[in-house]
Structure 1
Amino acid sequence: MEDLHRILNADSVAVIGASRDETKRGYQAVATLKKSGFEGGIYPVNPRERRILGLRCYADVEEIKEPVDLALITTPAATVPGLLAQCGRKGIAGAVIIAGGFGEMGPQGKRLEDEILETARSHNVRLVGPNTSGIINMWTGLNLVGLSNVPKGDIALLTQSGNIALHLITEATLRSHKGFSYYVGVGNESDIHFDEYLEFFRHDEKTKAILIYVEGLRDGRTFLQQVYKTSRQKPIILLKSGRTSTGQKSAGSHTGALAGISEVARTSFERAGIINIEHPDQLFPVAETLSSLPHIRNKKVAILADGGGHATIASDLLTDLGLEIPTLSDRAQARLREILPHNAAVSNPVDVAGGSDANPEIFARCARIILNDANVGGLLIAGLFGGYAIRFAEKLRFLEEDAAHQMGKLVQKSGKPIVLQSLYNSVKPHSLELLRYYGIPVYESLDIATKCVGALSRYGQYISAYKYKTTFEFNWGAKAKKKAVRIIQNARTEGRRYLFEHEAKEVLRSHGAPAMREHLAKTADDAVRLAEEIGGAVVLKIVSPDILHKSDAGGVRLNLENEDQIRNAFHRIIDNAREYKSDAVIKGCLVASMKKKGVEVIIGTKIDRQFGPVVMFGIGGILVEVVRDVSFRVLPLSRTAASRMIDEIKSAPILNGFRGSPALDKQALSQLLLTVSEVIESYPDIEEMDLNPVIVHDQGIDIADARMILKKDPVDLTGKG
């Protein structure tokens, strides 16, 4: 944190590659620092120049006698390693590296990026970037981006795209009273990652909200852990690109970071408390709203409009976002009737029905009544407010402005937010500027206004459930069972990277999962004897370290009820296996009771490159492969997260009971998901797990098949490796 403080609150800057050419970044940096009012030391570095913009120029940073906190390196990529060594000898805390040509350019660039990171670490220099657009501290004038007139405010901006930053800064300049506390172009994240910046902003008193544009994360799990710590104190608004295969390819080439699985990222961000945004045009408005207004403590929102069209559309949009439009209390409706025309709608949405045409102050009076209703958590005002003096009569201007004052004070007093949509927003009447002065955001787009209201509710719901959320931290190996450890170690000893089905089920069973014991038959006689002990119909399945997918090899036979069927099935399975892979080592066949019919689901785990272990749940059969009706979560799971995974798939009604069929045992299914989470946490050696199918009944579940694949290299099962 101390290094990051010296970087983002630097008292002195060396501009390496300073230039007298106005088109060069080295010139723009010096010029912008002076123009922005930076009061610290500015030290241009260029061995070919004596003075730049009236400042003495130095041959190298070690020639500077005064202490230097930060270096801005504007020279080509190949020069960076040597310059970093000089910075280290000078005692400079950090370097902002503008140049591209590193990991985002492929293997050769990655080698250069590794070199500069090694050099920086050996000389105790922290890196912003490389391939960064720079940093800005709006409160000190530390502007290393070259942008002028960036609005000052309380939103910290972290982005992997300079163009996105320019878009957001331009939007804030033209349409808002809000601005930025800091801007950081994180670039390739070679050294300082998103999570470290988040920790800094969590403690920064000037920052009230954090706005992020991310293409890929170097360490997604550490990022989530820091988000969890930060999001309760300050809202985090994020747009992640790379949702499509084309977008992921673009993200990789642009930043050298992998975009990962979109659904995994989305759900993990939401669980950590991030407000996910899907469209760039909504990014700044949502950040502006969350940094300005109290959040909505429930999902109940009122709508106040001066036209039925706006009221109806707003109601639809808010409902689509999962919000409720509750009927106002009898007392609130009675008070509204006292001040509105007889044809006004007063239940919610409230339509003033012309009651504001001669007196727009009626909006403030209605807003007060509505927000006094205990059942209402927030208010959206939609329509013409701000334009009455333009639309009807100039004398209404003062009434609109008075109403704006009243509504601003109402938000402060009630602790409930108001978001306003106005057709006259682009005209910028003074009444709307007054609303912004009080922190009430105003938008011309009804869609954006409703998205902002939705974000206030989502953040409020997260805060109310914060204590039930996961920290995304594992206690590796803490719940490992000795028997399961022996099974994994035995597989390693035999040179296997996966467990046999009966071994995988034994690992699950040791953690309480309802996995029936299955017995290994080495001969047909063994199979017959074991089937008699089990009783009833049985299933036989091949056991071979060389055959992972049993069905593909003809290695499964179902519904075997007598001795002849069992013997014939045993021999057929062995013959099929040898035909499938002639040199396969065959251990025999598993004998297990035939499971009764039910609904088939799949549960699987894998290691995501950005977020680590994740779990998937979905309906089994053709729906998984064709429709991809699945849900994802980053592990570990909470009980709430497990239940939501089940409920959010499209086929959830099948589990709830469909067309007269009984509801299935979702509680047992939820418990199995928690057990899977515990198993992955207990044995870091497991790379993938596949339970397919799991058969769900109205009471209980059966794990019909289980597969566990181990990591290529052994992991210390105590959790210390």
Structure 2
Amino acid sequence: MLDKVLNARSVAIIGASKNKTKRGYQAIKTLLADGYEGEIYPVNPNEDMILGIRCHKDITLIKDPVDLALITTPARTIPDILRKCGEKKVAGAVIIAGGFRELGLKGKELEREVVAVAKQTGVRLIGPNTSGMINLKSNMNLVGIQNAPKGNIALLCQSGNMALTLITEATIRKQEGFTYYVGVGNESDIKFHEYLEFLRNDPDTKSILMYVEGMSEGRKFLQEAYKTSIKKPIVLLKSGRSATGKKSAGSHTGSLAGMSEVAKSAYERTGIVVIENSDELFPVATTLSNQPPINNKSIAILADGGGHATIAADLLTDYGILLPELSDKTKNNLRKLLPDAASVVNPVDVAGGTDANPGLFADCAKIILKDPSVGGLLVVGLFGGYGIRFDDSLAIGEEAAAHRMGAMVRRKNKPIIVHSLYSSYESHALDLLRHYDIPVHDSLDISCKCVASLCKYGSYLKSYHAKTNFVFNWRSKAKPEGNQIINNALKEGRHVLLENEAKELIKLHGAPTSVGQVARSEDEAWQIAEKIKENVVLKIVSPDILHKSDACGVKLNLKSELEVRKAYCQIIKNAIAYNSEADIRGVLVSPMAQKGLEIIIGTKIDEQFGPVIMYGLGGIMVEIMKDVTFWVLPVSPTSCKKMLEDTRSSILLEGVRGQKGYDKKSLRRLIAMCSELIEAYPEIEEMDLNPIILYEKGLDVVDARIILKK
């Protein structure tokens, strides 16, 4: 439990100082200035009194219990200080110092020592290399940021500057603030998922805002995010989107798995709203904290100008949000209020109808929100600025409208988001909207992003029951024959299954594939081919040759005895030329697959999230187009539907230019089977099924490669 750490009732400042430039002075000063509700214990062997508080020579000499230690001393001193904290039975420590793994091997060794001491003593660590933490509820400010606003958002952040940016933005907007801020730092002890569990159960936190650079236990985080997002929204910005994962020569899947692709899809599947622009982070978190979600992806626009309405409609359409046609009753009621020139379709344009009476905004909003097809309302244009733009007397009508719109949100449980050109002006009407927690922005892009986030979160909540909890039931679906295939390879010291072994394994679990037979001579090759009674393909079988085509170890569409014998001899010759020391087991003879759409499915182990699966166009197109998507396992046939839609080439599955579509149901079953396979056999490191030939009905796994863990 982190309660004693994040809700500490007593804090020791180790490295307390009288030097006003030192963190050990600033922390005490801030705690006193903010009115921290707990006890403060400065610790410095060379001082007797700091800022009017008695200073202790050592933390072990403090008579009363200490919940939390703020350690402001250099990195090299941390292990010994933690041992003393353990002796004092301190619950947690905030380690400000850098100089750990971010500085290389020596720093890594020091960090390992720090973590080892923490585990021995039971002291939980925030950081190291952190800006600190703040509990706004008890005024425990261990960062030193002045006047951080209180509110209902919790902030987890791996950048002190990013945290300062967000807290400053909250201060300027005067609409929302924070319950907690934690500088996660190196995440060497307390992990992201532990903070998430704590905040999920905090009654004062309504949403969680995260800036993440790296995550050491990604799967546990996904499991906790799954439990948390159903109770309160999580908004996350992930940096490092351009970085690619470590490349593996073992398979296509290993070389294509980019960190950002895996992380983004994984986060979104837990209900996290992923943000890609930093200026959208706080507005979206505020919106999700205070506005009801939209569960039908439908929004109405109310505008006092065609330009803004058109831009907003384009932006929302780009996000996949529907602008439903309003009912006849809604349109008729709007016509009664507005001038003849007004447009009462969606978007609704008042066409000057509010110039003399801005209170009509509330009348129109009431009518629109009653429409059952409308999930929420976006107001765009000049609202809040009529009294500024035209005449002071109009401000009264705007203020009354703001009161009414605030009441509508609470009564109808449908959100209102306002875009106003006068957002940065002194406007009592806009302040009233903010009082009712209605978001007000001067950017149409941000306003539309907030709407999109409400739709995304609402859609997730609507289908939460169908989502995965990211928990594996290891070996639950393993088969004795499958275990035997893997064990035989491992006994031989092999970490690669032969193609026929890989095909036998996936066939055991229901994958449509023809295993074929291994020939060890040209005579045997022809005997096998003759029994197949259709064109065949020959492929080299060797644990030392992963990419058979690179070794010219594949011959296609063979029919006659001469072709088969010649192909066999040529494949063996090519393989020896490619790798003279290769362990050649023979040549696999299989039926030639019919033409269809080539697909790839692969799995690998992601360093943050564990087993992941890849789907996309197969064959040579996987390297050329790179139109693939990565999902964290496990996946079900139901969730695979969304996986297929994640690729640009998904339209090909429907059939184009008069062609019939392909068997998506069989494809989803195969993806789910691959998920089952990884859950059944933890020994599997990577798997490539490429190509898979997809037909109008059915499919055929033409080639399979499985690499085992070393």
Judge same fold: TM > 0.5, yes or no: yes
Give the partner amino acid of 2:217: D
Q: In the alignment, what sits opposite 1:304?
A: 302
Aligned structure 1 segments of 4 or more residues deviating by more than 4 angstroms: none
Three-state SS of the structure 2 residue aligned to 1:394 is coil
Deviation at 1:646, TM superposition (A): 1.8
Give the partner amino acid of 2:317: T
Q: In the alignment, what sits opposite 1:676?
A: 674
Counterparts of 1:627 and 1:544, CA distance in 2? 29
Give the partner amino acid of 1:33: L
Within-5 A mapping of 1:568-647: 568-647=566-645
The answer to whether the 8 Å contact 1:216/1:260 transfers is no
Counterparts of 1:397 and 1:309, CA distance in 2? 24
Q: In the alignment, what sits opposite 1:224?
A: 222
Could you list the per-position Cα deviations for residues 523-579 of structure 1 after superposition, in whole angstroms to 9, with x for gaps in the alignment? Answer: 222111111221111111111122222111121111111222111111111111112
Match of 1:275 among 255, 273, 289: 273
Counterparts of 1:524 and 1:297, CA distance in 2? 64
Work out whether 1:564 is the aligned partner of 2:582: no
Q: In the alignment, what sits opposite 2:87?
A: 89
Q: In the alignment, what sits opposite 1:238?
A: 236
Q: In the alignment, what sits opposite 1:254?
A: none
Counterparts of 1:441 and 1:649, CA distance in 2? 34
Within-5 A mapping of 1:293-692: 293-692=291-690
**% identity of equivalent residues:** 59
The answer to whether the 8 Å contact 2:5/2:91 transfers is yes
Counterparts of 2:298 and 2:496, CA distance in 1? 51
Q: In the alignment, what sits opposite 1:109?
A: 107
Give the partner amino acid of 1:491: A
Counterparts of 1:289 and 1:451, CA distance in 2? 10
Deviation at 1:188, TM superposition (A): 0.4
Match of 1:48 among 43, 46, 49: 46
Once structures 1 and 2 are overlaid, which stretch shifts more, 632-641 or 348-357?
632-641
Give the partner amino acid of 2:219: R
The answer to whether the 8 Å contact 2:243/2:260 transfers is no
Give the partner amino acid of 1:147: I
Could you list the per-position Cα deviations for residues 489-514 of structure 1 after superposition, in whole angstroms to 9, with x for gaps in the alignment? Answer: 00001110010001001110110110
Once structures 1 and 2 are overlaid, which stretch shifts more, 118-127 or 516-525?
516-525
Could you list the per-position Cα deviations for residues 147-174 of structure 1 after superposition, in whole angstroms to 9, with x for gaps in the alignment? Answer: 1100000000000000000000000000
Once structures 1 and 2 are overlaid, which stretch shifts more, 523-532 or 261-270?
523-532
Could you list the per-position Cα deviations for residues 587-645 of structure 1 after superposition, in whole angstroms to 9, with x for gaps in the alignment? Answer: 11111111111111111111111011111111124432132111111111122331222
The answer to whether the 8 Å contact 1:328/1:375 transfers is yes
Three-state SS of the structure 2 residue aligned to 1:659 is coil
Q: CA RMSD in A?
A: 1.2
Within-5 A mapping of 1:689-704: 689-704=687-702
Give the partner amino acid of 1:659: R
The answer to whether the 8 Å contact 2:95/2:129 transfers is yes
Counterparts of 2:646 and 2:91, CA distance in 1? 48
Could you list the per-position Cα deviations for residues 245-294 of structure 1 after superposition, in whole angstroms to 9, with x for gaps in the alignment? Answer: 3999xxxxxxxxxx961011111111010000010100000000000111
Counterparts of 2:426 and 2:216, CA distance in 1? 42
Within-5 A mapping of 1:94-173: 94-173=92-171
Counterparts of 1:183 and 1:634, CA distance in 2? 29
Counterparts of 1:86 and 1:525, CA distance in 2? 78
Deviation at 1:381, TM superposition (A): 0.3
Work out whether 1:25 is the aligned partner of 2:23: yes
The answer to whether the 8 Å contact 1:241/1:247 transfers is no
The answer to whether the 8 Å contact 2:209/2:234 transfers is yes
The answer to whether the 8 Å contact 2:617/2:627 transfers is yes
The answer to whether the 8 Å contact 1:386/1:429 transfers is yes
The answer to whether the 8 Å contact 2:245/2:258 transfers is no
Q: Normalising to structure 1: TM-score of the pair?
A: 0.96
Counterparts of 1:428 and 1:303, CA distance in 2? 25
The answer to whether the 8 Å contact 1:260/1:608 transfers is no
Deviation at 1:700, TM superposition (A): 1.1
Deviation at 1:229, TM superposition (A): 0.2
Q: In the alignment, what sits opposite 2:68?
A: 70
The answer to whether the 8 Å contact 1:17/1:74 transfers is yes
Could you list the per-position Cα deviations for residues 448-480 of structure 1 after superposition, in whole angstroms to 9, with x for gaps in the alignment? Answer: 001001101110000000000000111111000
The answer to whether the 8 Å contact 2:599/2:618 transfers is yes
Could you list the per-position Cα deviations for residues 202-241 of structure 1 after superposition, in whole angstroms to 9, with x for gaps in the alignment? Answer: 0000100000000110011110000000000000000000
Counterparts of 2:557 and 2:382, CA distance in 1? 71
The answer to whether the 8 Å contact 1:260/1:609 transfers is no
Counterparts of 1:205 and 1:652, CA distance in 2? 43
Give the partner amino acid of 1:409: A
Give the partner amino acid of 2:379: I
Q: Which runs of 5 or more residues in structure 2 are unaligned?
A: 247-256
Q: Normalising to structure 2: TM-score of the pair?
A: 0.97
Give the partner amino acid of 2:272: I
Counterparts of 1:260 and 1:577, CA distance in 2? 32
Counterparts of 1:291 and 1:647, CA distance in 2? 29
Deviation at 1:653, TM superposition (A): 2.1
Q: In the alignment, what sits opposite 2:185?
A: 187
Three-state SS of the structure 1 residue aligned to 2:86 is helix
Deviation at 1:407, TM superposition (A): 0.4
Could you list the per-position Cα deviations for residues 321-362 of structure 1 after superposition, in whole angstroms to 9, with x for gaps in the alignment? Answer: 110011111001000000110110111101111111111100
Give the partner amino acid of 1:311: A
Deviation at 1:398, TM superposition (A): 1.2
Give the partner amino acid of 2:124: R
Counterparts of 1:131 and 1:647, CA distance in 2? 41
Three-state SS of the structure 2 residue aligned to 1:603 is strand
Could you list the per-position Cα deviations for residues 166-187 of structure 1 after superposition, in whole angstroms to 9, with x for gaps in the alignment? Answer: 0000000001321000000000
The answer to whether the 8 Å contact 1:15/1:43 transfers is yes
Counterparts of 1:104 and 1:431, CA distance in 2? 49
Deviation at 1:105, TM superposition (A): 1.2
Counterparts of 1:373 and 1:705, CA distance in 2? 54
Could you list the per-position Cα deviations for residues 3-45 of structure 1 after superposition, in whole angstroms to 9, with x for gaps in the alignment? Answer: x100110000000001111111000100011111112110000
Three-state SS of the structure 2 residue aligned to 1:425 is coil
Q: In the alignment, what sits opposite 1:177?
A: 175
Work out whether 1:35 is the aligned partner of 2:28: no
Could you list the per-position Cα deviations for residues 36-66 of structure 1 after superposition, in whole angstroms to 9, with x for gaps in the alignment? Answer: 1112110000111110000001111001001
Counterparts of 1:208 and 1:39, CA distance in 2? 23
